[in-house]
Structure 1
Amino acid sequence: MKLTKFAFYNYNLFTQMVDVILGLQWGDEGKGKVVDYFAPAYDIVARFQGGPNAGHTLYVDNKKVVLHQIPSGIFHQEKINIIGGGVVLDPVTLKKECDNVASFGIDVKKNLYISERTNLILPTHRALDKASEMQKGEGKIGSTLKGIGPAYMDKTGRNALRVGELLNRNFTSQYIKLRMKHQRLLDNFGFNEDISQWEEEFFEAIEFLRELNIINGEYFINNKITEGKKVLAEGAQAALLDIDFGTYPFVTSSNTISAGVCTGLGIAPQKIKEVYGITKSYCTRVGSGPFPTELFDQNGEKLREIGTEFGATTGRPRRCGWIDLVALRFACMINGATQVIMTKADVLDSFEELKVCTAYNVDGRTTQQLPLQMERHNIEPLYQSFKGWNTNSSVITAGENLPADMKNYINFINEYLGCPVKYVSNGPGREQIVSL
C-alpha cells in the first residue's frame, strides 16, 4: 500500500492565543490587580495551578476584594473564568468567595467554569497540613495550613478526589475511604483535634459546587482557542516558590512558572505568546526561607508600613528588602518572560536612596547565579545605589511624566534583565497603571 503525505494543515493549532501573567518573586506582587486590568482585552481568564493559599487583591467599587481561588477576571461579567485542572480546590473557600462576589451583582453560575480534573482539598488535608507543620517545629516551612501540600501529595500518589467525581453516585464512599487513610496518618502524628465542623461545612459546599459549571476543561479551552478566543492564564504564588525551581524546600507544591500553564490547563506550548512577569519595585516574602536582600533596619520597616505589607491570605507581616535582580533575572529566564510589569513603584516615592542587588557574594565567591538551597550558604548581596525621586508618582498617568530618577531606576533594571519593563503600577486603584 502506498502511503501519501499528510497534506492537511490546521493553522489554528499553531495560533498563539494564550498570554500568561505570573509573579517573578515570592508572591504578593499584585497579580490580581494586573489581571483585572488586562482582562477586558481577553475572552477567558484561567487559573492554572495553586490553591487557596494564594491571595489576589483587587479593588472593586473602591472596596477591597481578595480572591483565593476564583480567577481575577470574575468581575467582568461577560468574560469566561476557568479554574483549571492544575488547581487544588477547597469547596468551602470557593463557596465563601462566590458569596462575596455575588454581593457585587456578579452571577458566578454564568461565568465561572471548573475543570473536572481539578483536585479537591478535603478537611483531612487541612488537618494533615497542620499536624505536619507542628511536628517540624523550628524547621517549619511557613505553610498557610490550607491543605495544599497534602492535596498535591494525594494527586501525585494517585489517591486524590477530583471535581468530576462529584457527579458520581459513589463519591461519598470514595471520600470515606480516603478519609480513613488520612486518619491513620493523623493518628501517627498524634493529632486529635475535632474536625467534624470542617466536614459539615465541606459537604454543604460540595452541594453548592455541584450547581456550578463543571466542564471537560481541556476540550473546552482548546475549542475556545480554535474559535479565536483569547485566553489570559493567571498564575498563583510566584516563580521563586516553584516546586522545582524555587528556593526549595521553602516553596509551594505546584509548578508556578509558565510551563505550568500547559500542564494545568491542557494546552500546547506553541499556543503561548506573551509572558507578563510581575515584580514589585522592591522585594517581600511571607513565611520562612532564604531572602538575601531582606532588611532588618528602618528601611525595611518603612517599606512594610508604606506598602502595607501584610499577607492577603494569612495577615502575617511580610519580610521586606531591596529588589534582587539576580533572582529576578533567573525568574525571567525560566519563565521566558517577554514583558515585565513593576508594581508598587509609588512605595519608593519618599526614599532618598535606593539599592539594587546586582550580584551575590556566596561563601566568598562573587556570582550572578542563584545557588542551590540558598539557606545552606552565606550569601551577601552586592548592591548598586540609586538616587530616589522624592515625587508623588501615584498621580502620574503617562510614562513620559515619570520622574527622571525613576526612569533611571527602571532603565537599569531593563538593561540588567534583558527584558523590558513595559508597565508600572503606581497605586492600588484599577486605573493606576502607567504604560511605558
Structure 2
Amino acid sequence: MPSYIVVGGQWGDEGKGSVMAYLAMKDGPEVIVRGGVGTNAGHSVFINGKKYAVRQLPTGFMQTKARLLVGAGVLVDPIVFFHELEALKDFNVAHRVGIDYRCAIIENKHKELDRTNGYLHGKIGTTGSGCGPANADRVMRRAELAKDIEGLKPYLTDVAAEVNDNLDEGKLVLVEGTQGFGLSLYYGTYPYVTSKDTTASAIASDVGIGPTRVDEVVVVFKSFPTRVGAGPFPTEMSQEEAEKLGLVEYGTVTGRRRRVGWFDLDFARYSARLNGATMIALTMLDKYDRDAFGVTDYDKLPKKAKEFVEEIEEHVGVPVALIKTGPELEHIIDRREMI
C-alpha cells in the first residue's frame, strides 16, 4: 500500500483538514501521522453538520481504526494535546494516539514571548502560540522534549519506527502537513513566514519517511486563496470586494479575519513543482461557482466551474484529482480513478 503526503500549496487555510478527513474515511489508512510546525495551524472538519477544529492531532481522527501519530518534527503543547483528547473523546482518540518522544515542547515562556514580542506578533503577525520561540530553543539545543514531560509518557513512541514498520507491512500511511507553501521558512515570503519549512520534503522528514517511500503528494489549493497575518499577497482583493463575493473568513487559531485573493496560477505552478505534486486537491469550488455546491459528479459541474478546473490543470501541469464542493465530508468529487 502507498503513503500519501498532503500539504498546503498557498498561504495556509486551503482546506487541508477536509481533504485529510475525506482520504481518512475513503481510503481507510492504518496510520495517520502529522508533520508540520506545531499548534499554530488549525484544521477544521465538518462531520454531520458539527465543526471540529484540531491544532495538535491529525485531522483524520474520525477514522477510528487508524493509529494517530505526531512526528518528531512537530512541536507539542501539552495543554492543547490534552484538551483535544477530551474534545475528541467520542472518537476514542486517547487510546489510538502516539507522540514521538523526540518532539520538542512548547512551554508557557514560548507563548509569552510570542505574544509580547513586537517584531514577531506585531510586524510578522504570528499566532502567539509559541512555535517560533520553541523552535528557536530547539535549534539552540535547549528545548524540553516530550520524553521529559511526565504526563506525556503514556503516549510516547518512536513514530519513525512505527511508520516505517507499517510501510514494510504494506499498510497505508496518510501523512498530514500544516500551513502552506507560501509560509515556508525557506521558500516563502521571508520574513513573513513560519518557523520551519512546510514543503512535502520537510513533512516527510518530520515523520521519518525517506523520499523513496513517498508514493503520492497531494497539494491543496483553495479557489480563493487566503492569508492570515502580514506579508506579501500579490493577488489580494479589498475587504469590500471579498464581502461582495461572500468570502469572509476567520482564522481557526487566531480568530483574525483572513485576507482574500484571486487564484494565482503562476504561484500554484511553482508550488506544485517544489512540492513534487502528483495530484491537486481543489477546495471551495462552490465559492468560485455557487452552482457547484454539493456536486459529486465531475460531469455535472457547471461550465464555469469545469473551465476553472481545466485552466488549473493546463497551467500547473498536474491533475486536479479531488474537488471539494462544500464543507461536509461527502461534498467532494474524487477523480483519482479517471486520471
Q: Residue 50 in 1 paired to residue 33 in 2? A: no
Q: Residue 301 in 1 paired to residue 301 in 2? A: no
- Whole-angstrom distance in 2 between the partners of 1:317 and 1:265: 31
Distance 1:78 1:401, change over 3 A: same
Measure how far apart 1:109 and its partner are.
2.6
Match of 2:274 among 326, 334, 339: 334
Tell me the equivalent position of 2:54: 67
Higher relative contact order (CA 8 A, sep 6+): 2
Q: Is the 8 A contact 1:74 1:111 kept in 2?
A: no
Match of 1:399 among 292, 298, 307: 298
Q: Is the 8 A contact 1:148 1:253 kept in 2?
A: yes
- Whole-angstrom distance in 1 between the partners of 2:178 and 2:223: 19
Distance 1:97 1:308, change over 3 A: farther
Distance 1:217 1:136, change over 3 A: closer
Match of 2:210 among 255, 268, 275: 268
- Whole-angstrom distance in 2 between the partners of 1:220 and 1:123: 30
Q: Is the 8 A contact 1:50 1:86 kept in 2?
A: yes
Tell me the equivalent position of 2:153: 210
Q: Residue 99 in 1 paired to residue 106 in 2? A: no
Q: Is the 8 A contact 2:218 2:280 kept in 1?
A: yes
Match of 1:246 among 188, 198, 202: 188
Amino acid at match of 1:270: T
- Whole-angstrom distance in 1 between the partners of 2:149 and 2:229: 34
Q: Is the 8 A contact 1:307 1:344 kept in 2?
A: no
Q: Deviations over 1:109-141 (max 9, x none)?
A: 321111111110000011111232x25686x10
Question: Residue 236 of structure 2 aligns to a residue in which SS?
Answer: coil
Tell me the equivalent position of 1:173: none
Q: Is the 8 A contact 2:227 2:258 kept in 1?
A: yes
Q: Is the 8 A contact 1:294 1:300 kept in 2?
A: no
Tell me the equivalent position of 1:85: 72
Q: Is the 8 A contact 1:45 1:233 kept in 2?
A: yes
Amino acid at match of 1:163: A
Tell me the equivalent position of 2:317: 418
Q: Residue 127 in 1 paired to residue 112 in 2? A: yes
Q: Is the 8 A contact 1:19 1:275 kept in 2?
A: yes
Q: Deviations over 1:362-382 (max 9, x none)?
A: xxxxxxxxxxxxxxxxxxxxx
Q: Is the 8 A contact 2:283 2:325 kept in 1?
A: yes
Q: Is the 8 A contact 2:121 2:128 kept in 1?
A: no
Match of 1:157 among 125, 136, 140: 140
- Whole-angstrom distance in 2 between the partners of 1:405 and 1:62: 28
Q: Is the 8 A contact 1:49 1:85 kept in 2?
A: no
Tell me the equivalent position of 2:169: 227
5+ residue gaps, structure 1, are 1-15, 168-206, 351-391
Tell me the equivalent position of 1:178: none
Amino acid at match of 1:302: K
Tell me the equivalent position of 1:321: 261
- Whole-angstrom distance in 1 between the partners of 2:102 and 2:303: 50
Match of 2:24 among 39, 43, 54: 39
Measure how far apart 1:393 and its partner are.
1.3
Q: Deviations over 1:43-82 (max 9, x none)?
A: 1111112111111001123211101011011111111110
- Whole-angstrom distance in 2 between the partners of 1:86 and 1:252: 14
Tell me the equivalent position of 2:330: 431
- Whole-angstrom distance in 1 between the partners of 2:197 and 2:240: 35
Amino acid at match of 2:85: C
Measure how far apart 1:409 and its partner are.
1.5
Q: Is the 8 A contact 2:293 2:326 kept in 1?
A: yes
Amino acid at match of 2:221: T
Tell me the equivalent position of 2:289: 349
Distance 1:135 1:26, change over 3 A: closer
Seq. identity, %: 35
Tell me the equivalent position of 1:374: none
TM-score using structure 1 length:
0.74
Q: Is the 8 A contact 2:277 2:318 kept in 1?
A: yes
Question: Residue 202 of structure 2 aligns to a residue in which SS?
Answer: helix
Q: How many residues align?
A: 333
Structure number with larger C-alpha Rg: 1
Measure how far apart 1:298 and its partner are.
3.8
Distance 1:136 1:28, change over 3 A: closer
Measure how far apart 1:165 and its partner are.
2.2
Amino acid at match of 2:130: G
